[in-house]
Amino acid sequence: MDMIVRGGTVVTMDGPRRVVENGSVAVKNGRIVAVGSVAEIDRSYGSRQIVNATGKVVIPGLINGHTHVPMTLFRGLADDLDLQEWLTKYIFPAEAKNVTEEFVRVGTRLGLAEMIRSGTTTYCDMYYFEDAIADETAKAGVRGVLGETVIDFPVADNKTNAEAMAYVEKFVSKWKDNPLITPAIAPHAPYTVSEEHLKAARGFSDRTGAPIVTHISETKREVDDSLKAKGASPIDYLNRIGFLNDRVIAAHVVWPSATELALLKKLGVGIVHNPQSNMKLASGVAPVPRMLQDDLPVGLGTDGAASNNDLNLWEEMDTAAKLHKLFSNDPRVVSAQEAFEMATIRGARALHLEKEIGSIEVGKRADLVVVDFDDFNQTPFYNIYSGLVYATKADDVRTVIIEGRMVMRDRRLLTLNEATIKVDARRYRERIIRSLSAKTAPAD
Ligand SMILES: [Zn+2]
């Protein structure tokens, strides 16, 4: 064996949701080859690399289903605004003045460090220069579904749709066989990409098998505008033009009707719920209890750090469980276990990767997280899912393994340079402030 994670409480998230006390996980060639009690695994397997998980909890790596990873560099740049004002007055101008390939690399390394430290092993991204994001992600040993943005105005990496489509073509063929990276096409949203270009993105996905990452039905205003302009809600419109299928990963889906949810389920569209981002931008509350009741593939995401302001899945799990209880006036909805499922196996379904990740099962990729479970905030504990979702914090994550490779050991990052990441990010902060004040200077 290449590695044995030995002696912890293994929360498998397999079909029967098995929890193995004093369990072990054997890993070879990046995959899980055995899961069982310490005695069983010791009897059949040996390895030079033993990760001692005694007294700890071993979970499947967490899945961040939606983010814009380089936006870590805009963390806290503009808060407490509504989505349209936030986007058009702050984020789009700040991006226009600052986003370069180097910016994207620095922001990606920062986001990767933050995600590894909090036990995220897979993330789904949408941004510009996604080829550089893929490069940094693969180097850090992190798994990503990475979508190059297609949007109907000139952006940092591509000035026209033709350029963007050519970029995507090269990007997808370059990364499609990488074990960590699933390259994708990411038409930004139905209100920023024309029907023709949405259809072209779908055609590209049909031809190459690449997933489509997009935003759908994020705000009530988006739905109202769509009804006015197109005579249909965003979901109805996208369905009418043949855009939706089981390769689509839709972030938000805050405002679907019951009929639309049934349609999304029938078509196999993956959904990513971003509770903290939706709360911060007051976008609304997605009907997650209904999605869970109907067994839709819904995962959890942080969204970009500019609208959250961190990339911490533990907070999203905790928030998801509590937000829907409050909103539906029913403490029984979105249980701790369901919230944990959304960050693991159901999140894997949302990304259409449930055959590869999301649970600790023989044959799946060895994406494993060892969590300390003896801090004051976790003591005492009665129920494992309650302990994980309501009491565990990102700081309790101790060791992270992705594709059978250790990327953090005892809270030390092994594939990224912690010191230079912060220095680089702070240098960008100065540049970003200067770039924005340069714009307002003539008016002063
Ligand atoms: Zn987003």
Compute the distance from residue 375 Cα to the ligand 1 centre, in Å.
34
Compute the distance from residue 69 Cα to the ligand 1 centre, in Å.
10
Confidence at residue 1, expressed as pLDDT on a 0 to 100 scale: 87
Confidence at residue 432, expressed as pLDDT on a 0 to 100 scale: 92
Compute the distance from residue 250 Cα to the ligand 1 centre, in Å.
10
Q: Which residues have CB under 8 Å from 132's CB, separation 6+?
A: 101, 104, 105, 108
Compute the distance from residue 125 Cα to the ligand 1 centre, in Å.
9
With a cut of 50, say whether residue 149 has pLDDT above it: yes
With a cut of 90, say whether residue 263 has pLDDT above it: yes
In this predicted model, what pLDDT tens digit does every residue of 297-348 receive, in sequence order? 999 999 999 889 999 999 999 999 999 999 999 999 999 999 999 999 999 9
Compute the distance from residue 280 Cα to the ligand 1 centre, in Å.
13
Compute the distance from residue 311 Cα to the ligand 1 centre, in Å.
12
Confidence at residue 443, expressed as pLDDT on a 0 to 100 scale: 39
Torsion, Cα 371 377 379 382, to 10 degrees, reads -80
| Contact yes or no for 190/226 (Cβ under 8 A) | yes
Structure tokens at 123: 């993330």
Torsion, Cα 348 349 351 357, to 10 degrees, reads 30
| Contact yes or no for 3/49 (Cβ under 8 A) | yes
Compute the distance from residue 333 Cα to the ligand 1 centre, in Å.
25
Compute the distance from residue 216 Cα to the ligand 1 centre, in Å.
10
Confidence at residue 441, expressed as pLDDT on a 0 to 100 scale: 42
Structure tokens at 144: 């990503």
| Contact yes or no for 74/91 (Cβ under 8 A) | yes
3-class DSSP state for residue 50? strand
Residues 160-174: what's their mean pLDDT?
A: 98
Q: Residue 285's closest CA among 227, 217, 337, 238? A: 217
Compute the distance from residue 170 Cα to the ligand 1 centre, in Å.
24
Compute the distance from residue 230 Cα to the ligand 1 centre, in Å.
23
Compute the distance from residue 137 Cα to the ligand 1 centre, in Å.
19
Compute the distance from residue 351 Cα to the ligand 1 centre, in Å.
15
Compute the distance from residue 307 Cα to the ligand 1 centre, in Å.
9
With a cut of 50, say whether residue 51 has pLDDT above it: yes
Compute the distance from residue 403 Cα to the ligand 1 centre, in Å.
26
Compute the distance from residue 290 Cα to the ligand 1 centre, in Å.
22
Compute the distance from residue 70 Cα to the ligand 1 centre, in Å.
12
In this predicted model, what pLDDT tens digit does every residue of 415-435 receive, in sequence order? 999 999 999 999 999 999 999
Q: Residue 350's closest CA among 66, 116, 118? A: 66
Compute the distance from residue 316 Cα to the ligand 1 centre, in Å.
15
Confidence at residue 436, expressed as pLDDT on a 0 to 100 scale: 84
Q: Which residues have CB under 8 Å from 309's CB, separation 6+?
A: 75, 76, 79
Compute the distance from residue 159 Cα to the ligand 1 centre, in Å.
21
Compute the distance from residue 341 Cα to the ligand 1 centre, in Å.
21
In Å, how far are 164, 187, 223, 269 from 220, measured between CA atoms?
A: 29, 20, 5, 20
In Å, how far are 10, 71, 308, 421 from 311, measured between CA atoms?
A: 24, 11, 8, 16
Percent of the chain with pLDDT over 70: 98
Confidence at residue 83, expressed as pLDDT on a 0 to 100 scale: 80
With a cut of 50, say whether residue 36 has pLDDT above it: yes
Compute the distance from residue 343 Cα to the ligand 1 centre, in Å.
17
Strands 248-252 and 270-273 turn out to be parallel
**pLDDT confidence of 412, banded at 50, 70, 90?**
very high
Confidence at residue 444, expressed as pLDDT on a 0 to 100 scale: 38
| Distance from C-alpha of 352 to C-alpha of 204, rounded to nearest angstrom | 17
Find tokens 């996208």 and name the residue: 238
Distance between first and last Cα of the chain: 66
Compute the distance from residue 10 Cα to the ligand 1 centre, in Å.
32
**pLDDT confidence of 89, banded at 50, 70, 90?**
confident
Strands 50-52 and 3-11 turn out to be parallel
Structure tokens at 98: 């600052």
| Contact yes or no for 387/375 (Cβ under 8 A) | no
Compute the distance from residue 95 Cα to the ligand 1 centre, in Å.
14
Confidence at residue 178, expressed as pLDDT on a 0 to 100 scale: 98
Is the entire prediction scored with pTM above 0.95?
yes
Compute the distance from residue 20 Cα to the ligand 1 centre, in Å.
36
Compute the distance from residue 66 Cα to the ligand 1 centre, in Å.
6
Compute the distance from residue 126 Cα to the ligand 1 centre, in Å.
7
Compute the distance from residue 384 Cα to the ligand 1 centre, in Å.
31
Confidence at residue 341, expressed as pLDDT on a 0 to 100 scale: 98
One-letter amino acid identity for 76? G
Q: Which residues have CB under 8 Å from 350's CB, separation 6+?
A: 63, 65, 249, 270, 271, 272, 297, 298, 299
Compute the distance from residue 326 Cα to the ligand 1 centre, in Å.
24
Compute the distance from residue 68 Cα to the ligand 1 centre, in Å.
6
Lowest-pLDDT range of 76-90, 179-193, 215-229, 371-385: 76-90
Confidence at residue 408, expressed as pLDDT on a 0 to 100 scale: 98
Q: Cβ of 383: how many Cβ atoms within 10 Å? A: 11
| Distance from C-alpha of 274 to C-alpha of 123, rounded to nearest angstrom | 13
Of the CA atoms within 13 Å of residue 31, those in its CB half-sphere come to 9
Compute the distance from residue 381 Cα to the ligand 1 centre, in Å.
35
**Mean pLDDT, the chain, as a whole number?**
96
Compute the distance from residue 378 Cα to the ligand 1 centre, in Å.
32
Compute the distance from residue 188 Cα to the ligand 1 centre, in Å.
8
Compute the distance from residue 300 Cα to the ligand 1 centre, in Å.
12
